[in-house]
Amino acid sequence: MDIPNPIPAKPTRFLDQLRAFIRARGLAYRTEQTYLFWTKRYIRFHQRRHPRTMGSAEVEAFLNHLVVQRNVALATQRVALNALVFLYREFMAMPLEELHFEGARKPARLPTVFSPDEAKRVIDKLEGVPKLIAILLYGSGLRISEALRLRIKDVDFDMQQLVVRGGKGGKDRITLLPDRLLEPLHQQIAVATHQHQADLAAGYGAVYLPTALARKYPHAEKETGWQYLFPAKDLSVDPRSGIRRRHHVLDRTVQKRFREAIRAAGIRKLASSHTFRHSFATRLLEAGYDLRTIQKLLGHTDLRTTEIYTHVVRKGGFGVRSPVDATL
């Protein structure tokens, strides 16, 4: 899912041209997917009219539709707005006039958080690689996509840290490597290394690298350090080049195991893999770590995003003790 779709060397279709422009700007693939998604929705909303025949009025109508008919959250409306501003101002060089539209007022939901016991119960229901990934999410605050994209060289045992590359927004960051994971990760690296050596012996062993890195380090694709920490069970064909490679384990495979474990643990909350990341932040806040530190570990651009965890620390209601507990 994180390998960009192939596009012609000289694209003629509008959306392919937009893809090529985004890649030339060096934006993250997730950003590319998001901008293409909202551009397509915008075009379809206006009966497939070409964006060059439209402008501010049509953008306003679409943004109002998202709020009035689709009832989207404020963050969703902002993402759509950013995508369309990029489309017109950056790609088509047709800056939009001042926009007037109905702003979304749907309040953001508080994040779902596991209690320490719930997190342990879910993890205990997992086995093998999914269990190790769950501990990574809970112990280091990773998003599942960040955990799956870890390379062997991103695990720094000497500094006891993980290097997260190309996270949300295309940013790199450093987060902690828990003591609990030192030995399991040594074992996982040994497994990944053994698999890589077997692939090399079979005439394969070249891992996917983003285009810029592949050009800068032409031999890195076969080096052990660049291999995925959690390699897929089988080889697959790179849709862009046709090269048979070993990618990382699939997101949907791990997510399925997580859903099964959450049900088996008897968790009735609306939980997912991301709940481990929310729980990581909440535990750190409960332990007294400052918001700036937690912000850096999570990779949040805006401190206000991190502040939401102050509302979900244990003993809800901002940590206030209820008078009924003191008197009855």
89 counts as catalytic: no
300 counts as catalytic: yes
Question: Which run of H or of E encompasses 173?
Answer: strand 173-176
105 counts as catalytic: no
State the Cα–Cα distance between residues 192 and 184, nearest whole angstrom.
12
Which amino acid is residue 106, in one-letter code?
A: K
Name the H helices within 141-273.
144-148, 182-201, 211-216, 251-264
State the Cα–Cα distance between residues 269 and 197, nearest whole angstrom.
43
Catalytic residue among 245, 246, 248, 300: 300
- Whether residue 4 contacts residue 36, with contact meaning beta carbons closer than 8 Å, is answered with no
Catalytic residue among 19, 125, 143, 283: 143
State the Cα–Cα distance between residues 289 and 297, nearest whole angstrom.
11
Catalytic residue among 30, 168, 222, 244: 168
304 counts as catalytic: no
168 counts as catalytic: yes
248 counts as catalytic: no
Q: At what angle do helices 128-140 and 182-201 cross, to 10 degrees?
A: 130
Catalytic residue among 196, 245, 247, 277: 277
DSSP SS3 for 220: helix
Which residues form the catalytic set?
Answer: 143, 168, 274, 277, 300, 309
